[in-house]
Structures are given as structure tokens and as C-alpha cells.
Chain A
Amino acid sequence: DAGVTQSPTHLIKTRGQQVTLRCSPKSGHDTVSWYQQALGQGPQFIFQYYEEEERQRGNFPDRFSGHQFPNYSSELNVNALLLGDSALYLCASSLLAGGSRDTQYFGPGTRLTVL
């Protein structure tokens, strides 16, 4: 049973560029959430996708956008990159009607460095 997978593992970009990160949820899961983890901090919620729609959004600017595909996989896009966007980006999947309080399972993350 494949867990949550993310690609790429590492990415280096320069300020002003755009980046796309990808996530495949755990088998059987239908909801994908994205988190940003800066160094020395806990993960911060960016947004969540279910049924190909953004359902919830954290306190992140519009430069952060996403998409969910019919196979439940998801992309996170960040435009006009800033140095402060350097972080570990985590994808988490869950089952909306799982009955287990939506326990979220995380992927290994994508380490983004903005120079």
C-alpha cells in the first residue's frame, strides 16, 4: 500500500520564478492538504483540496495556488518566489468520510530553496 508521495525531493529556484510541486495521496484517500514548514517551526496550513475544489485556506497570499485532479493527486504552485518561501512543503492526505477524525498522513516533503 503506497503512502503519500511527493515530487521533486529538492528544488532550487531564484527570486521571481514560479514553481510547481506534486503530490499523490495515500491509496483510498480523497482529500489533500498542503503545509509549509519553515526551519525550526511546525508545519503551517496552506490549503486543502477535496473533489477538485479548494475547501479551506490558511493565511497565505494568492501567489500560492493549487489544483486537484480526478485521480485525487494535487499540485501546489507558487508564483513570484520570495526568499521567505524557502521551506519544506508537506502534502498530507486523508479520507473525508473516514470516520477517524480525518487523520492526515504526510509525505516526505519537497525542500524548496529560493536564492
Chain B
Amino acid sequence: DQQVKQNSPSLSVQEGRISILNCDYTNSMFDYFLWYKKYPAEGPTFLISISSIKDKNEDGRFTVFLNKSAKHLSLHIVPSQPGDSAVYFCAASSSISSGSARQLTFGSGTQLTVLP
């Protein structure tokens, strides 16, 4: 049972345009969400996160939107650049007892290709 889903395996966007990557989740206990970017032969790199008490978080060209009622989040990249071409993973976590850090549940990823 996939608790975090990224239904689009791939996305192609023209340079300078907006990239929108989507993610759905099923576990109502998730209260913290993250996006990671992964290049081949490298580990995932943290991009941006959002707490469930917010509906939007912005960091430069990257904005994450959270719709709790729909259990949906999206990552917007504006403007898109060829260097943004990578696999993007959505991840989620829930509050746990003290003495433990959160474990992340990942989606299967979306390959973003930004065309020059």
C-alpha cells in the first residue's frame, strides 16, 4: 500500500516555463512534507519542506503548496532551468515519540526534463 504517490513518472518542460510536480498521500497522520532532488550517481538533495500548519512555503524559484483536505501537495519551479533536470521525490513524515527522529516515506519519483 503506497502511502505517498507520484503518479507522473516523467515531465518535460521548456526552459523558462513553470514546472509543476504533484504528490498525493493517504496517511492522515503525515504532518511534515519534503521534496528532494536526485541526480544520477548522487544521493537525494533536500530542496524544500512544509509543515501541515501551512499551505505554502517559498524558497527562491521553488514553492511548495499543501492542500490538506485533498491530501495533495505540489512543487512549483519558476522559471525552470536545464540544471533542474533530475528525479524529484516527494516525502512525508508523522510525529513520533521523543527519542526518535522522523522516518520518511517517499513517493516513486518524477523525472523532470527541462528542455533548452
Contact = CB atoms under 8 A, between A and B. Distances in A.
Interface of A: 4, 6, 31, 33, 35, 40-45, 48, 50, 55-56, 58, 90, 92, 94, 96, 101-109
A69 B42 CA distance: 25
A99 to B, nearest CB: 12
Contacts of A94: 101
| Number of chain B interface residues as a range | 20 to 34
Contact of A48 (B4, B91, B103): B103
B96 interface: yes
A56 B42 CA distance: 25
A103 B43 contact: no
Given A58-B103, A94-B101, A106 B43 contact: yes
B85 interface: no
A96 B101 contact: yes
Given A56-B96, A101-B51, A42 B107 contact: yes
A84 B97 CA distance: 32
Given A103-B49, A104-B46, A44 B106 contact: yes
A102 B96 CA distance: 12
A106 B45 contact: yes
Nearest to B89: A42
B106 A42 contact: yes
B103 A45 contact: yes
A102 B101 contact: yes
B32 interface: yes
A80 to B, nearest CB: 25
Name the residue among A4, A43, A48, A107 with the largest chain B CB count within 10 angstroms.
Answer: A43
A4 B43 CA distance: 9
5 contacts: A92-B43, A101-B32, A102-B102, A104-B101, A106-B44
B64 interface: no
